[in-house]
Amino acid sequence: MTFVTSIPAVLLYNDVLTQTHFIVGNGDNFNVLFGAFLEMMLIVANLGTALVLYPILKRQNEPLALGYVAARTMESVFIAIGIVSLLSIVTLHQGAGAHAGSLVPIGKTLVALHDWTFLLGPGFIVGIGNGLILGYLLYRSGLVPRGLAVLGMVAGVLLLASGIAVLLGAFDKGSLPQGIATIPEFVWELSLGIYLMVKGFKPSPLIATDVPPPGALIPASV
């Protein structure tokens, strides 16, 4: 669901993010509105992922599992701020009228706000939560193949490093180095989702010890 909602949303936002005078032009508001709807569904998917995995991951390390939920939540907060900034452009675009010229700087400011939320959320926090924390917990628990979990940790480091590099001005947002550093995270998240849908979690003491086998006697508490 995260892939189905996030990628089309980026494509739908293309005009409002790239056309300087979109706020006073004849751009299609529907594309922005539908993109915002898709990103709202993305937030639902992000939080749903965290809530579904938390009961399992906390058996390995509860503080880190909480950290994963917190990271997913903060990522969603940044996404929500970005959505509001673009919806604000749509509102101003609809009522531009005689003050159209003065709205261009406001439009640029709102686009800049969206760009920064995208960097700090999907481009930075994801590296911590979905990459490092989730990859580490799945590696330690053995619930997925170790190689897949290692990919998650490596992808998290690369995404985190590229986000810091952009933040500090080492290279530009959307540049080739950042794009290359994002690829492992893309592959990791897609591979994990497909693996869990096809195979499910591997047998693990993390799961097996919590539920007694059929017919087993449960000792009385002392």
Tell me: the pLDDT tens digits for 102-138?
Answer: 788 888 999 999 999 999 999 899 999 999 999 999 9
The two tokens of residue 168 are 């500090």
Do residues 6 and 185 lie in contact, with contact meaning Cβ atoms separated by under 8 Å?
A: no
Do residues 149 and 202 lie in contact, with contact meaning Cβ atoms separated by under 8 Å?
A: no
Q: What is the mean pLDDT of residues 139-148?
A: 92
Question: What's residue 21's pLDDT?
Answer: 82
Q: What is the mean pLDDT of residues 146-153?
A: 95
Please, which pLDDT band fits residue 99 given cuts at 50, 70 and 90?
low
Please, which pLDDT band fits residue 213 given cuts at 50, 70 and 90?
very low
Question: What's residue 163's pLDDT?
Answer: 92
Q: What is the mean pLDDT of residues 57-69?
A: 94
Do residues 129 and 67 lie in contact, with contact meaning Cβ atoms separated by under 8 Å?
A: yes
What's CA 126's distance to the chain center, in Å? Answer: 6
Question: What's residue 173's pLDDT?
Answer: 84
What's the pTM?
Answer: 0.85
The model's pLDDT over 4-60, given as tens digits with 9 standing for 90+, comes to 999 999 999 999 998 888 888 777 799 999 999 999 999 999 999 999 999 999 999
